[in-house]
Chains A and B, each alone.
Chain A
């Protein structure tokens, strides 16, 4: 089988779960002798090592993998403002490299999404494939184009919806693209039941058209990270984009409540985002600024170090279609409290779970983990055993099943 897949960049240069997921899935598919033509946007100023080398190094079966780059400024999780920044960045880059010609890129995000879609026509005409697989909204126009050009069926894979990203206040333009993609696709894959429900509820899709394929998790070899811990101090970690979707405000509120009962606790916030100033102000307002530390955006070893330093990781997301960070935390030996409104809570049993809005419950559970070593140990011991069951091999098999059903469905029709 050959797949035309519209995806995003791969780790280690990915900015979130989407790149990691595309990589994990592609790798497992290629090991099952499924040929993947992987289409990615690539901007000229992004000084990345050509990542095919990285892929080879990380064990992808190369004969089953073809990379197609489309010149574009698109990156995952982009919004209009961020796109404009990218454009400025590009213009500077073009001036510096002595090529100040008129930009080929769209004047705004939406125009660029369509330009990208047009550019994909060529690929869809040139190569052979049996089915199209597209990841999240920005690729839907391109994938729909490819479907029109080739007449091949389309499966779209929903990692997040506009409702997740905006806390229930969707951008109409993006919502329309998502909705069109979902309706015109032959089948839909959702990363969780939570996401499936959103698709059914907010996009008017028949439940039977949506298959849940939980993400897997794959870890590169652990770094040799050693952390020295102050035995008299407990650390609670928040790690992720500091945006409405991730519920950082609930983290500050819970921190205040915890500190009413326990003094020797520090709260570390790792990540960046538009709600960072809010969090800093709130911490000051609550008089806990000395207990709440902002570590900024972390990469690689520093992420592992943060997990390892922490006694507990908290993911209070308002809306988390899947959520891979809790699994990373467990892998680093740190137990987790996760929001019930997350996909990962569907696959992880040995975690404490809370309603993100229930600050008292969150604080209650944080205190319990910090005060009772036996609880901490039980959580980490049991959750560690769960991780291997959450893998990309299982996910790839489910995707293959969806491909086969979709192709078969077409033949029958």
Chain B
């Protein structure tokens, strides 16, 4: 029996503009509204709307037998509301089918767990409230930003009451073991660990249109065969990927929509295959063993570590300086200031500051509003300095009032 579990990541950061040192103290708008609008509108048209339509059709077609899950960030939802409300409506429609699970994460798609557990919990709560408000959903499965995970995080999530947590099925963690079973993180007693099968996930997400790949072009028959072969040596298959795979990373001309349209039918031909949501997989399968992830593991780049966000000193400095302000920002109880600060916690800003692939170009360029990682760092630090300035102005005002 193989329970196939699709999880799609839906995320859009609120991108920063080229906020200048000369803007500090004069305007407090750090965000690149025009660019954000353009990206949302473009991706809505190429990916979100047609893919949501397709998923809805598939769910209706298979009458409850086709199920999927999403993790949608708060920053994505906010921007859908502003720039493409029809996208939000189509997700709501999907939610109503009962065949869609919504996963829990940080509202701002942040790495707050690494710097402030307090902020992390608050962002997770904000996200939960958002899921309830829009989708009437109560999540029981957690996935951290970019699948960043370790033992300690597993325990922390278990203590928050979740039943399942997702992570990358990295080779160096699994060794000889297969990602196609349910595990339990070391240090945890109850929570189930679902690991991404990165080979089969990346066949769709990355290799699908790569004509130099030996298995190009990928047909549903061939792909289904690979999955069928798991029967007998695995209980479940976790296919985790960015939702933008459909129509954006892989353009519709590559045949990706056609592939997805015919895949469920092909997979369901095998009597032992089924589609399940992550919480169903966790509920229906016992852990077969313990997984020990002492160090942080993510789903990014080849390294599968934190180096994409914290690999250089600029990233570390920016992150440290950001979280230094947390308490002071929150003490103001100013919702605008707090929300501005939180938008800066979004991991993408740090990803754009990554220098390790810059000489080779590409990978981190996707929807990157900056020409270089240095430009991103400069804009970020200027914005942060303006937040400091706003705090200073408040302090001076309070001191004057007291005096």
Are the CB atoms of A377 and B22 closer together than 8 Å? no
Cβ of B375 < 8 Å from any Cβ of A?
A: yes
Are the CB atoms of B382 and A364 closer together than 8 Å? yes
Residue with the highest number of chain A CB atoms closer than 10 Å, among B21, B312, B375: B21
Are the CB atoms of A378 and B22 closer together than 8 Å? no
Across the A-B interface, give the 9 residue pairs with the lowest CB-CB distance, nearest first: A374-B313, A368-B378, A364-B20, A374-B317, A364-B21, A367-B21, A374-B314, A349-B359, A378-B314
Cross-chain pairs A/B with CB under 8 angstroms, 18 sampled: A257-B22, A350-B355, A350-B359, A352-B372, A353-B371, A361-B18, A363-B22, A367-B21, A368-B377, A368-B381, A371-B381, A372-B314, A374-B317, A375-B314, A375-B378, A377-B313, A378-B313, A385-B359
Cβ of A386 < 8 Å from any Cβ of B?
A: yes
A345 → chain B, closest Cβ, in Å?
10
Cβ of B358 < 8 Å from any Cβ of A?
A: yes
User: Complex: how many Å from CA A369 to CA B375?
Assistant: 11
Are the CB atoms of A382 and B21 closer together than 8 Å? no
Number of cross-chain contacts by CB at 8 Å:
60
Total B residues in contact with A, Cβ cutoff 8 Å: 20
Q: Which A residue's beta carbon lies closest to that of B356?
A: A382
Q: Hey, which chain A residues are within 8 Å of B21, CB to CB?
A: 261, 363-364, 367-368
User: Complex: how many Å from CA A372 to CA B315?
Assistant: 12
Question: For chain B, what secondary structure do more than half of its interface residues adopt (helix, strand, loop), or is it mixed?
Answer: helix
Task: Show the binding face of B for A, using Cβ within 8 Å.
Answer: 18, 20-22, 312-314, 316-317, 355, 358-359, 371-372, 374-375, 377-378, 381-382
Q: Hey, which chain B residues are within 8 Å of A385, CB to CB?
A: 359
Q: Hey, which chain B residues are within 8 Å of A257, CB to CB?
A: 22
User: Complex: how many Å from CA A352 to CA B374?
Assistant: 7
Are the CB atoms of B377 and A375 closer together than 8 Å? yes
User: Complex: how many Å from CA A382 to CA B317?
Assistant: 17
Given the interface pairs A353-B371, A368-B381, the reply to whether A360 lies near B22 with Cβ below 8 Å is: yes
Are the CB atoms of A375 and B374 closer together than 8 Å? yes
Given the interface pairs A360-B20, A367-B21, A382-B355, the reply to whether A349 lies near B372 with Cβ below 8 Å is: yes
Cβ of A282 < 8 Å from any Cβ of B?
A: no
Are the CB atoms of A372 and B359 closer together than 8 Å? no
Are the CB atoms of A372 and B358 closer together than 8 Å? no
Given the interface pairs A349-B372, A360-B22, A364-B22, the reply to whether A372 lies near B355 with Cβ below 8 Å is: no
User: Complex: how many Å from CA A371 to CA B382?
Assistant: 11
User: Complex: how many Å from CA A368 to CA B20?
Assistant: 10
Q: Per-residue CB proximity of A369-413 to B under 8 Å, as 1/0? A: 001101101110010011000000000000000000000000000
Q: Hey, which chain A residues are within 8 Å of B20, CB to CB?
A: 360-361, 364
Are the CB atoms of B378 and A365 closer together than 8 Å? yes
Q: Hey, which chain A residues are within 8 Å of B359, CB to CB?
A: 349-350, 382, 385-386
Given contacts A261-B22, A350-B374, A367-B21, 15 further A-B contacts (CB under 8 A): A257-B22, A349-B359, A350-B355, A350-B372, A353-B372, A360-B20, A363-B21, A364-B20, A364-B21, A364-B22, A368-B377, A372-B317, A374-B314, A378-B374, A382-B359
Q: Hey, which chain B residues are within 8 Å of A378, CB to CB?
A: 312-314, 355, 374
Q: Hey, which chain B residues are within 8 Å of A352, CB to CB?
A: 372, 374-375
Are the CB atoms of B382 and A350 closer together than 8 Å? no
Are the CB atoms of B22 and A372 closer together than 8 Å? no
A262 → chain B, closest Cβ, in Å?
9
Q: Which A residue's beta carbon lies closest to that of B20?
A: A364
Are the CB atoms of A350 and B22 closer together than 8 Å? no
User: Complex: how many Å from CA A374 to CA B316?
Assistant: 9
Q: Which B residue's beta carbon lies closest to that of A335?
A: B374
B60 → chain A, closest Cβ, in Å?
49
Q: Hey, which chain B residues are within 8 Å of A368, CB to CB?
A: 21, 377-378, 381-382
A49 → chain B, closest Cβ, in Å?
41
Q: Which A residue's beta carbon lies closest to that of B317?
A: A374
User: Complex: how many Å from CA A86 to CA B41?
Assistant: 64
User: Complex: how many Å from CA A360 to CA B18?
Assistant: 11
User: Complex: how many Å from CA A368 to CA B312?
Assistant: 17
User: Complex: how many Å from CA A349 to CA B371?
Assistant: 10
Q: Hey, which chain A residues are within 8 Å of B316, CB to CB?
A: 374
User: Complex: how many Å from CA A175 to CA B20?
Assistant: 41
User: Complex: how many Å from CA A102 to CA B247?
Assistant: 79
**Which of B313, B358, B375 has a CB less than 8 Å from the CB of A350?**
B358
User: Complex: how many Å from CA A379 to CA B358?
Assistant: 12
